[in-house]
Amino acid sequence: MEKSLIVLRGLPGSGKSTVAKLFNAPICCADDYVYVNGEYMWTPQRAARAHILCQAKCESLMKKNESIIVIANTNVKARDSRAYTILAEQFGYTVFSLVVENRHGGTNDHGVTPEKLKDMEQNFSVKLT
Domain positions in the chain are 4-123
What is the CATH architecture assignment of 4-123? 3-Layer(aba) Sandwich (3.40)
pLDDT in tens, the chain (129 residues): 799 999 999 988 899 999 999 999 999 999 999 888 988 888 888 889 999 999 999 999 999 999 999 999 988 887 889 999 999 999 999 999 999 998 888 888 777 888 888 888 888 888 776
* pTM for the structure as a whole: 0.89
Strands 4-9 and 68-72: parallel
Q: What's phi and psi for 42, nearest 5 deg?
A: -75, 130
